[in-house]
Chains A and B, each alone.
Chain A
Amino acid sequence: GAGVSQSPSNKVTEKGKDVELRCDPISGHTALYWYRQRLGQGLEFLIYFQGNSAPDKSGLPSDRFSAERTGESVSTLTIQRTQQEDSAVYLCASSASRDFWRVETQYFGPGTRLLVL
């Protein structure tokens, strides 16, 4: 497939449990982004990777959130001890070039809908 994929598409979990969300970016894309979108709200930046390093983790809401990326491929967002306020859609996006002056649109995945009961 040519697009960004995310799994699972939906996740229902109980408060206090850990969850792992997966993102497969477009092959060859060096940059990968995670966003959170609460119901009826805009996108909240969480973290981005350039390759497998994360230059900017400033958007992670708490130390319960962490993310990893293997090389320039799969990324996993982990939420530990989930809380009800973590319920949201988690969107992943990737983009291609390191050259700022290229039109580096982000290509978004379909998102993972997380519901914490």
Chain B
Amino acid sequence: AQKITQTQPGMFVQEKEAVTLDCTYDTSDPSYGLFWYKQPSSGEMIFLIYQGSYDQQNATEGRYSLNFQKARKSANLVISASQLGDSAMYFCAMREEMAGNQFYFGTGTSLTVIP
């Protein structure tokens, strides 16, 4: 089974609108962390936000927030007030305590912000 599933290969959003990028995960480890990364066309991977499995509150970092629904095993990224510079690939990733330092990445979602 896939550890991380991102079902939206491509998304469009109007500038200044909010958008949700979906991510579901599969683990039997009670201790895990979830990450979102942004990859612009230039290729570098940029860390956006982190959610720990024991965190009581949803993580927020500026315009990014993570809608963490543990029972559903989902960790959707919400970008508020989209900007043209948000156009990029977005990857969801997970790290399990049992698996040590290995990160599992999803296949990514391509976000295009429309002016």
What residues make up the interface of A, taking CB atoms closer than 8 Å to B? 31, 33, 35, 41-43, 45, 48, 50, 55-56, 89, 91, 93, 95, 100-101, 103-108, 110-111
Contacts and interface: CB of A to CB of B under 8 A. Distances in A.
Contacts of B50: 103, 105
Given A42-B91, A42-B108, A103-B50, A110 B44 contact: yes
Interface of B: 6, 31, 33, 35, 37, 43-45, 47, 50, 52, 91, 95, 97, 99-108
Nearest to A43: B105
Given A100-B31, A101-B52, A105-B35, A45 B102 contact: yes
B43 A110 contact: yes
Contacts of B108: 41-42
Given A103-B50, A105-B50, A108-B37, 5 more contacts: A31-B101, A42-B108, A93-B45, A100-B31, A100-B97
B101 A95 contact: yes
Contacts of A89: 43
A48 B101 contact: yes
A104 B104 contact: no
Interface centre among B43, B47, B91 (most CB of A within 10 A): B43
